[in-house]
Amino acid sequence: MTRGGRDIHRDEPDRRCIVTGEVGPKGGLLRFVVGPDDRIYPDATGKLPGRGIYVSADRGVLEKAIAKRMFSRGAKKPVTVPDDLIELVEAGTLKRLQDAIAMARKSGKALAGYEKVKIMLDRGDARVLLQACDGSERGKGKLSTPQDGKWIGFLTADELGLAFGRDRVIHAAVAAGTLAKRIVEEAARLQGIRQIDGGKPAAKKDIGNA
């Protein structure tokens, strides 16, 4: 597993970023397609028809792709890039992450609430610990990242709450399995396109082992 939290599957086809030229698994890239109107559309599901155009899941790289008109180069023809493309990408990726968490909740693989999460961690059942960035640091510090697991700490309590059908959630945990892997991957992608002070991508420590 990479530092950013992605599982690398050797049988997964690699794709090339149109900006950096780097080749890697699709999990670390954002996919775009050209619509019938020659307009660029983000494809968070990876299922829209058409030849995919890939950009690294990094806000700075995406901004460069837009500024340098590199989508036209990738499409090999003039294309229109919507003014709110970055916002569309962020919103779509956030929804994918929330949907994955919701699926884990419905299948009994994800729980929310301090006491439930603590029990899950104590039993060794948790693979991913999620904690709201706007929650109490004192309260969050009482829970530890699962051994060999991941911690996701950049979502707000409102964003976590939507995934669990609540107003706000501070602490949540996900058991090991396919959905846990998907949640970590989607979180790494979203983390890459969100900014912090100075115009840099969200801190790597917001998804990690500590």
Q: What is the pTM of this model?
A: 0.85
pLDDT of residue 38: 96
> What is the number of residues in the chain?
210
Contacts for 111-115 with beta carbons within 8 Å, 24 or more apart?
Answer: 111/172, 111/173, 112/160, 112/164, 112/166, 112/169, 112/171, 112/172, 113/169, 113/171, 113/172, 114/139, 114/142, 114/143, 114/170, 114/171
pLDDT > 90? residue 134: yes
Q: What is the mean pLDDT of residues 80-102?
A: 97
| Whether 126 contacts 117, CB under 8 Å | yes
- Identify each DSSP E strand in 26-117 by its residue range: 29-34, 40-42, 53-56, 110-112
| Domains of the chain, residue spans | 14-83, 88-208
Look at residue 30 and give its three-state secondary structure: strand
What's the token pair of residue 72? 């036209």
- Chosen CATH of 14-83 out of 3.30.43.10, 3.10.50.30, 3.30.470.20, 3.30.1230.10: 3.30.1230.10
**pLDDT tens, position by position, 15-58:** 999 999 999 888 889 999 999 999 999 998 888 998 899 999 99
**pLDDT tens, position by position, 192-206:** 999 644 334 444 346
Task: Give the CATH number of domain 88-208.
Answer: 3.30.1330.30
Determine the straight-line distance between the first and last CA of the chain, rounded to whole angstroms: 15
User: Which residues have CB under 8 Å from 18's CB, separation 6+?
Assistant: 53, 54, 55, 65, 70, 71, 73, 74
